[in-house]
Amino acid sequence: MGLSEVVAALPLFRMRGPFEELANVGVMFVVLQLLRMFTGLVPLAAIEFFCHKGAFTSDDKKKLASNLWYATYYSYMALWGTRLFLEDTGWAYDMDQVCSWQPVAQVFSTWRNLHIYHCVQVAFYLNYVFAMVVGIDVRRKDQWAFAAHHVITLLLILFSRNWGYMRIQLAILALHDLADPLVHFSKVVKLARPLWEVVPDLIMALFALVFYATRWFMFPFYLVASCRDSWLSEYPADWTRASPAIWWQASDAGLVVAGFHVSYYGLAMLLLYALYCLHLYWGGYIFNMAWKKLVLGQGKIDENSDDEGIATDHVTKKKVE
């Protein structure tokens, strides 16, 4: 029995109401915090026991613990999400209906594990934002872009669940989780300072290939395109002039903003396009990083993430020696 089956067996995870759903997310938030502590403390204890004192700085240990946790989480969620999409629900074999609506209670009662998967993902992104705010994670140079990415993702998860678009939610989450384990494993290997320095570079190259395939190709040309077609056919009145006198008005059908009508589906589409813009930003950065590494011969791999501290540490140690 897998972890998801164990959690699904708990009586708490049953569809009853908003307060119970909030309790579900709260439980998973605490569980994820405990798992994060475990995946971080165990390797750090091993470092203290097996390595010479001072072999790793405190910043290195913090980065190692953080990246080990994210590598572990994303690996498990990538496998779980892929299994749900391909085998348990079978939605992958009916891509024409990927943006179709279904009652959430019916979906969660049919596929109990999907309910747990949803609660875990909501709790994780809340956990991620919490770790960024309180300083558990190392601060990144692209901190605001990263925070925007997680807030947009969290909003899309909540919107799709509230409106009954669980198919597209699962498809997008499963697709995005495929590349994330690789970048964190690359950082873990780099922090461990292997004898063959090409190893983290090879893992990073594999990450770049998966990133471009999933987030520059499959995401916009399959998932976003399917949602856009459904949007244009079901909500043709979006962005048409409703009434110049109405600045803001909300209804069950959508909103009127600055005199223009927009459905809630249209707002979700704007979030999807914003997510794609962030993918383009990071994809451009990955290309620039690869160009400097392969063409210009610059050894520094990642100026934008928390890897910069590692390169700085190496330079400092060489100067001292």
Which among 269, 207, 184 has a CA at the least distance from the CA of 233? 269
Residue 194: predicted pLDDT = 62
How far apart CA 273 and CA 171 sit, in angstroms, is 16
pLDDT digits over 223-237, tens only? 999 889 888 888 887
pLDDT digits over 120-146, tens only? 999 999 988 888 888 777 777 778 888
Give me the mean pLDDT over the 9-31 stretch. 71
Give the number of residues written for the chain: 321
* Sequence-separated contacts (24+) of 86-91 with Cβ below 8 Å: 88/113, 88/114, 89/114, 89/167, 89/170, 91/167, 91/170, 91/171
Residue 314: predicted pLDDT = 39
**Structure token pair of residue 288:** 């620039």
Q: Could you tell me whether strands 248-250 and 254-257 are parallel, antiparallel, or unpaired per DSSP bridges?
A: antiparallel
Please tell me whether residue 255 adopts helix, strand or coil conformation.
Answer: strand
How far apart CA 48 and CA 180 sit, in angstroms, is 28
Give this prediction's pTM.
0.81
pLDDT band at 73 (very low <50, low <70, confident <90, very high): very high
**Residue 148 backbone phi and psi in degrees, to 5:** -60, -40
pLDDT digits over 153-210, tens only? 999 998 888 888 999 999 999 999 999 999 999 988 888 776 667 788 889 999 999 9
Cβ–Cβ under 8 Å, residues 245 and 256: no
pLDDT digits over 272-315, tens only? 999 999 999 999 989 888 888 777 766 554 444 444 333 334 33
Annotate 183-233 with DSSP letters as a single string: HHHHHHHHHT--SSTHHHHHHHHHHHHHHIIIIIIIIIIIIIHHHHHHHHH
**Residue 25 backbone phi and psi in degrees, to 5:** -65, -40
Residue 313: predicted pLDDT = 40
Q: Does the pLDDT value for residue 49 go beyond 50?
A: yes
Residue 147: predicted pLDDT = 87
**Rounded to the nearest 10 degrees, what angle do helices 264-294 and 143-163 cross at?**
150
Residue 107: predicted pLDDT = 87
Q: How many CB atoms within 10 Å of residue 204?
A: 23
Please tell me whether residue 72 adopts helix, strand or coil conformation.
Answer: helix
**Structure token pair of residue 15:** 């569809």
pLDDT digits over 234-268, tens only? 888 788 877 766 777 777 767 777 778 888 888 88
**Structure token pair of residue 125:** 């992104």
How far apart CA 170 and CA 251 sit, in angstroms, is 27
Residue 179: predicted pLDDT = 93
pLDDT band at 101 (very low <50, low <70, confident <90, very high): confident
Residue 120: predicted pLDDT = 92
Residue 289: predicted pLDDT = 83
What are the sequence ranges of the domains in the chain? 3-233+270-320
How far apart CA 293 and CA 297 sit, in angstroms, is 5
